[in-house]
Homo-oligomer: A and B are copies of this chain.
């Protein structure tokens, strides 16, 4: 279990003031075994349920985007209608369960390295990510 003072240092390192709201959000996001995926709505719920404090919605948005900019969080595009964030900021692939709308990380070994043959002049590749959409085996597929 990471201590709060670690979060304070971590925030200081990237030039974010260790305010109590940011520390609270760090606790909710990083004080756990595994990385996970969430929406802003999820996060607001988690804060209000797990913590007694209430944080303004604007602050949650601001903080999440500050964290994203500093590389503490990654935004994942799967569904144009919802923003998902990921506390796993490394480059990795995903499964998306279309029944439950759950995102699942792929292990390194699940998918071979992707080889891109095309090269766009004047442009460099920033990322290569695979999205595997899965759904229940029996039901009618979309």
B-binding residues in A (CB < 8 A):
75-84, 95, 97-99, 104, 106-107, 109-112, 114-118, 120, 122-137, 141-142
Inter-subunit contact B126/A133 (CB<8 Å) = yes
Inter-subunit contact B142/A126 (CB<8 Å) = yes
Q: Which residues on B sit within 8 Å (CB–CB) of A81?
A: 83
Q: Which residues on B sit within 8 Å (CB–CB) of A111?
A: 114-118
Instruction: Report Cα–Cα, A137/B120, bound state, in Å.
Output: 10
Q: Which residues on B sit within 8 Å (CB–CB) of A120?
A: 95, 97, 104, 134
Inter-subunit contact B124/A135 (CB<8 Å) = yes
Instruction: Report Cα–Cα, A11/B126, bound state, in Å.
Output: 40
Instruction: Report Cα–Cα, A81/B77, bound state, in Å.
Output: 9
What is the CB-to-nearest-CB distance from A108 to chain B, in angstroms, rounded to a whole number? Answer: 11
Inter-subunit contact B116/A114 (CB<8 Å) = no
Instruction: Report Cα–Cα, A23/B135, bound state, in Å.
Output: 34
CB closest chain-B residue, reference A131? B129
